[in-house]
Amino acid sequence: MAYQLLKFALGGEYKEPRFFRDCQTPKKSYDAVIIGGGGHGLAAAYYLAKDHGMTNVAVLEKGYIGGGNTGRNTTIVRSNYLTPDGVNFYDASVKLFEGLSTELDINLFYTNRGHFTLAHTESAMRTMRWRAEVNKHVGVNSRVVGTDEIAKACPQMDLSCSGKAPIQGALYHQPGSIARHDAVAWGYARGADSMGVEIFQNTEVQSIDVKDGQVQGVHTSRGYISTGKVLSAVAGFTPRITEMVGLKTPIVIHPLQACVTEPMKPWLDTILVSGSLHVYVSQSSRGELVMGSSLDPYEVHSTRSTFDFVEGLTSHIVDMFPFLSNVKVVRQWGGMADITPDFAPIMGKTPIKGFYLDAGWGTWGFKATPISGKTMAYTMANDKAHDLIHSFRMSRFEEYELTGEKGAASVGH
């Protein structure tokens, strides 16, 4: 060991092992092509290879992997949703996350923090009770707590929020966690690559060939690739892809912004969300406060961030934590959130044979990365929607069977 270390040190060349091969020239054809090298696309590739033995698969990413919303989110993982279908789905994802560092052999810094959704009004308390009961019914650990328990978990918070919006109670969700988001993309990429999946960065899909209602292939910036199965997992770019194949969806793109403060000693152990103040905050393992807010108010296809956002967000954070008024915000950024009218994803088959959609992840899709990959891989391999995603099917809008998840998803990502 010591000898090898010495040899390495004197060797002069310190090559980092690559996470995945540097693929440059795609083959003429693949059994499946995945558009988008975010967490969702890479997880789908991983489970296609692992669960279904499909390894002749290409992932096409127009930038670099994890550079979309996967690397821009505030990493909250939870399952305290409102509808039983939603709770079951996200619970399956949380369970996969819990074992994922071991499975992918990479430290995801998955840390269980506990998650408080603060209620400042009687009507918010009603929603919390409703969510707690649905969660318990499905077997998910959530309960309504009073201000004493909140004060104990976070003694630094001003429970009156500077007198503006006194906290009445909260929904406490013990499994709530945070993770290192880019490691999720990198871990899935390495796992998929090691089983034979080819990952192409800087490779943009420019159009999709469909003949007689069946996918034939994709035109890319690296040439034409023929394939019978295409998965679109492009989050904020979904409308541009669905336009290529003439599919209509209810998705609307809104920017969603976030920011971090300078690092501090650890003081905030839990994840706090306030729907009324439109903020949520957690402290990362580096000591930064990671903070976010609700969506920008109108459609824009851009990742620009704004001063209005930091100004509004920090004024509410200071209401909750007056002692933070001297702390500096050091970075801010934005992502494009693909919002659906019922705050649930659109997953599964589409009217075009061989064209599969994993979209509508809006502000809430990071936590679903493992389960969406697993269920989309199943759906593609069997050309049949996985049971867990039945209520997220694309046709639900024409059938007027929307899911009603808004109460649990709008601010608390």
Partner 1 sequence: MKLLNCPMNGVRPLSEFLFGGEFREMPNPDTSGDLEWASYVHYRNNAPCIKKEWWYHSPSGTWFIAERNTLSDEVLATYLYGKAPVAAKTTKPRAKKEQSA
Among the listed residues 104, 134, 256, 411, the single contact to ligand FAD using CB under 6 A: 256
Q: Which does 28 bind (CB under 5 to 8 A by kind): partner 1, ligand FAD, none?
A: none
* Binding pattern for the stretch 334-353 against partner 1, x by CB under 8 A and - elsewhere: -------x------------
Stretch that binds ligand FAD, among 113-121, 148-156, 357-365, 374-382 (CB under 6 A): 357-365
- Choose among 220, 294, 207: nearest CA to 254: 294
* Binding pattern for the stretch 214-243 against partner 1, x by CB under 8 A and - elsewhere: -------------------------xx-xx
Q: Does 191 bind ligand FAD (CB under 6 A)?
A: no
Burial classification of residue 11, based on how many CB atoms lie within 10 Å of its CB (0-12 exposed, 13-18 middle, 19 or more buried): exposed
Among the listed residues 19, 109, 224, 397, the single contact to partner 1 using CB under 8 A: 397
Q: Does 310 bind partner 1 (CB under 8 A)?
A: no
202 by DSSP, 3-state: which?
coil
Q: Which does 308 bind (CB under 5 to 8 A by kind): ligand FAD, partner 1, none?
A: partner 1
Q: Which does 207 bind (CB under 5 to 8 A by kind): partner 1, ligand FAD, none?
A: none
Q: Give the integer Cα–Cα distance in Å for 184 and 42.
A: 9
- CA distances, 293 to each of 71, 151, 165, 275, 389 (Å): 17, 23, 17, 9, 28
- Block residue for tokens 């905050």: 281
Strands (E), 271-405: 271-274, 279-283, 289-293, 329-339, 346-349, 355-359
147 by DSSP, 3-state: which?
helix
The footprint of ligand FAD on this chain (CB under 6 A) covers a number of residues equal to 40
- Choose among 77, 90, 169: nearest CA to 123: 169
Q: Give the integer Cα–Cα distance in Å for 388 and 397.
A: 18
Q: Does 161 bind ligand FAD (CB under 6 A)?
A: no
Q: Does 51 bind partner 1 (CB under 8 A)?
A: no
Among the listed residues 25, 298, 326, 328, the single contact to partner 1 using CB under 8 A: 298
- Are 254 and 303 a contacting pair, CB within 8 Å? no
Backbone dihedral angles phi then psi of residue 93, each to the nearest 5 degrees: -70, -45
- Block residue for tokens 């990502």: 413
Rounded least distance, CB 308 to partner 1, Å: 7
The tokens for 246 are 């003439």
The tokens for 127 are 């929603």
| Span 98-157, contacts to partner 1 by CB under 8 A | none
Among the listed residues 34, 35, 277, 291, the single contact to ligand FAD using CB under 6 A: 35
Q: Does 97 bind ligand FAD (CB under 6 A)?
A: no
Q: Which does 31 bind (CB under 5 to 8 A by kind): ligand FAD, partner 1, none?
A: none
* Binding pattern for the stretch 247-266 against partner 1, x by CB under 8 A and - elsewhere: -xxxxxx-------------
Among the listed residues 105, 133, 148, 299, the single contact to partner 1 using CB under 8 A: 299
- Choose among 103, 122, 113: nearest CA to 183: 103
- Block residue for tokens 């991983």: 46
The tokens for 374 are 């697993």
Which residues are near partner 1 by CB under 8 A?
A: 239-240, 242-243, 248-253, 297-302, 304, 306, 308, 341, 397-398, 400
Which residues are near ligand FAD by CB under 6 A?
A: 35-41, 60-63, 67-70, 72-76, 204-205, 233-237, 256-258, 292, 335, 337, 361, 363-367, 413
